[in-house]
Structure 1
Amino acid sequence: MAVSGTFKLFSFVNFHSQVNSGVTYECAITGRGSSQKTDGLSPRNFPNSHSSTPTQCTLFVPFIFCDYNATCIVGSNKVAMPLDTIYLTRHGHRLNWTIDHKTGTYFSQFPTPSGNPSDPALTSHGVRQSHELATHIVSGDVTPKPFRVYSSPFWRCLQTIEPSVRALGDAKKAQNGKGGTDGIDEQAEFEIRVENGLGEWFGSTTFFHHPAPPTISTLQSLKSGEAAPFTLNTTRNSPILYTSTRGESIPQLHNRLATALAGIIREVDAEITTIEASLPTEQRTSKAIFICSHAAPLIAIGRVLTGNMPADSSEEDFHVYTAGLSTFRRRGSGPAASKPGKGLLADGTMIANPDVTVVPEWEGGKGVGGGWDCVMNGDCSFLSGGAERGWHFNGEESFDTGPMSDPAVPAVPAED
């Protein structure tokens, strides 16, 4: 007899294994009839039976098991575990550039790998940070391990996350099919999914276009010796969206990241459902994604995941140090309500994914993808230099690049 229902976890659930956040459990329904109340709850639609043999079901507990809804399908063990953890990191310490605000012309201090003056590489210190991050990601201090990896298309982000991708790939090979719940999922994919929706924030402009990031084909053509510099996923159909080259206001930036994150979460949830629907319970694992982006987008991501937008956008709520790591745990898995996108996204923003057509409603504590809690905010304990180059909003940016250009460096005259 298959009966479905959503309920709070109280004493009528009898766990067979230790409770850990984000793990699938076998549970036993004690057989209370559907007319009987439990712990002051309204009647639940369970089988009206007092059999001594408990009915088996599968529960997904997103984070703190006694606080959130869990869904059980009685008589079936084919409930896939959705994505439950998101790791965020900012690119490492990078080289600099300047912009002539009168003309919108960008100038790089040094030649850039992609030829885009606003797309510099990491400094040697930033490279060191990227390897320290990789060592931390594969250590026992980070669980669950990433299942998918996403990045802004800018070089400094790809360069930061590449050592982690390679280290995770090596660790997966080394476990030789024995990942289990504490290791790396056997279905984990360690190729970087380039997502333009995670790209840098450029302030609004009406008289010039900001430089666009390199395309995947451009990135593939840029080799270091005989090898491609990055382990890229080239089979994904398209990014969730492409950003406007005319820049964005702060509200438009937040809505852009809400749209991108909602699309990413939906994409990964669908993949997990397909993978795990046919797996026995003991082979299902907690799932995480790893995202590398920039200072302003990462602050916006923290806000759209939690649903908490401060009255003053310059509030220092989420820490975005270079190569630091923040962790978010999922509160639920229901889709957020949505609203028409006109005016919410900057003119010129192009949504490329056909499954994403509107901007999700995320404010007021809702958050995208069911809402998330920040459980680690800008951890830099694993970096030899500690927390460096923090950033926060300081009002709207108009026809300049905000966090992308160091205000201490004077602009280079266009005629030079």
Structure 2
Amino acid sequence: MIQTLYIARHGFRSSWTNGDRSDRNDSLSELGLKQAQDLATYLASLAEDKKPTAIFSSPFHRCLQTSQFTSIALDVPIYVDHWISEWYSDLTASKAIKQPEPPSADILRVDFPEIDADAWSSLWYPPSTGENVSQITERMSTFLSRFIPKVESTLSPAKHERILLVTHAAPVIALVRNLLHGTESRVKPGCCSISEFERNLNSESEESGWVPIRIGDCAHVSGDIREWGFEDYY
């Protein structure tokens, strides 16, 4: 049974440094690579019973680069799931700016050999026509409702008790809001921030099954963390 969920945002993007916004599947900048190492170093410093045992990553390059550092540091696999891909907003869609569609895990494994493309395949692919805030919130709600039982039934439940999700700012916010059951809170994740939730094993109600331990923690991250929230977009 999954007992702990860690949710991390990717590191600093190269497009934020060079100003080239045309590549929507860009890599990490030099600072972003350092931040990804910061995240890996921090997670490796945790007690053995606190370290993530598997990583589920967005297929976007910056998330896979971020995941790779932790995968190597902890010697754990990366599973790719397109369901936690970047948010393609309704406003962006109205401008006819197309969101990239990253390839399958099997193809991505060529550049990221830490990916286990055989044990896991994406549950769902997000729409390329854009989503508003309510829609991405619903996307993450449905993801959680299907992802958790799928992990527990497909992978070794005794081994994978602590899961790390590596994704983008908007999915992080939507995931946190769902785990808080819609409670309004200021969620502005920074680069390589960590949000941590523990399962309430004493609860019989699915509505109160996850307890927040920390949200958007960046204490381990160096440099510009570029916090972002939906209010910065609309």
Structure 1 length-normalised TM: 0.50
Equivalent in 388, 401, 404 of residue 225 of structure 2: 388
Q: Are the equivalent residues in 1 in contact too, given 2:4–2:162 (CA < 8 A)? A: yes
- Residue 301 of structure 1: how far off its partner (Å): 0.4
- Paired residue for 1:215? 104
Shift of 1:149: 1.1
Paired residue for 1:325? 194
Structure 2 matches for 1:25-64, cutoff 5 A? none
Q: Which has the higher contact order (CA 8 A, sep 6+)?
A: 2
- Cα deviation digits, residues 142-180 of structure 1 (max 9, x gap): 7422122101110000001101101101xxxxxxxxxxx
Deviates more, 1:207-216 or 1:298-307: 207-216
What corresponds to 1:109 in structure 2?
20
Matched ranges for 1:11-410 at <5 A: 82-96=1-15, 109=20, 117-140=23-46, 143-169=49-75, 190-204=76-90, 205=93, 208=96, 209-221=98-110, 228-271=111-154, 276=158, 287-310=161-184, 316=186, 318-332=187-201, 336=206, 366=207, 371-385=209-223, 388-394=225-231
Return closer, same or farther for 1:375/1:275 CA change in 2, 3 Å cut-off. Answer: closer
Question: Shift of residue 207 of structure 1?
Answer: 7.3
- Tell me if structure 2 keeps the 8 A contact 1:249–1:396: no
Higher strand share: 1
Q: Secondary structure at the match of 2:27?
A: coil
Contact 1:132 1:382 in 2 (8 A): yes
Q: 1:140 to 1:117 in 2, by over 3 A?
A: closer
1:216 to partner: Cα distance: 2.3
Name which one, 1 or 2, has greater alpha-carbon Rg: 1
> How many percent of aligned residue pairs carry the same amino acid?
30
1:137 Cα offset (Å): 0.6
**Distance in 1 of aligned mates of 2:217 and 2:58:** 20
Read off the aligned partner of 1:293 and give its amino acid letter.
Answer: T
Alpha-carbon distance change, 319 to 371 in structure 1, aligned in 2, over 3 angstroms: farther
CA separation of 1:286 and 1:237: change in aligned 2, threshold 3 A: closer
Shift in Å, 1:271: 4.5
Determine if contact 1:83/1:288 at 8 Å carries over to the other structure.
Answer: yes
Please give the alpha-carbon distance, in whole angstroms, between the structure 1 residues aligned to 2:49 and 2:217. 14
Distance in 2 (CA, whole Å) between partners of 1:395 and 1:388 is: 15
Give the TM-score of the pair, scaled to structure 2: 0.86
Q: Distance in 2 between matches of 1:96 and 1:287?
A: 35
Please say if residues 85 and 327 of structure 1, whose CA atoms lie closer than 8 Å, have aligned partners that are also in contact. Answer: yes
Q: 2 CA distance for matches of 1:95 and 1:136?
A: 23
Deviation at 1:395, TM superposition (A): 7.9
Q: Distance in 2 between the 1:388 and 1:145 partners?
A: 23
RMSD: 2.7
What is the CA distance between 1:194 and its match in structure 2?
0.6
Q: Which residue of structure 2 aligns with residue 349 of structure 1?
A: none
1:326 alignment partner AA:
S
Q: Counterpart of 1:394 in structure 2: which amino acid? A: E
Q: Distance in 1 between matches of 2:175 and 2:67?
A: 18
Conserved 8 A contact 1:319-1:377: no
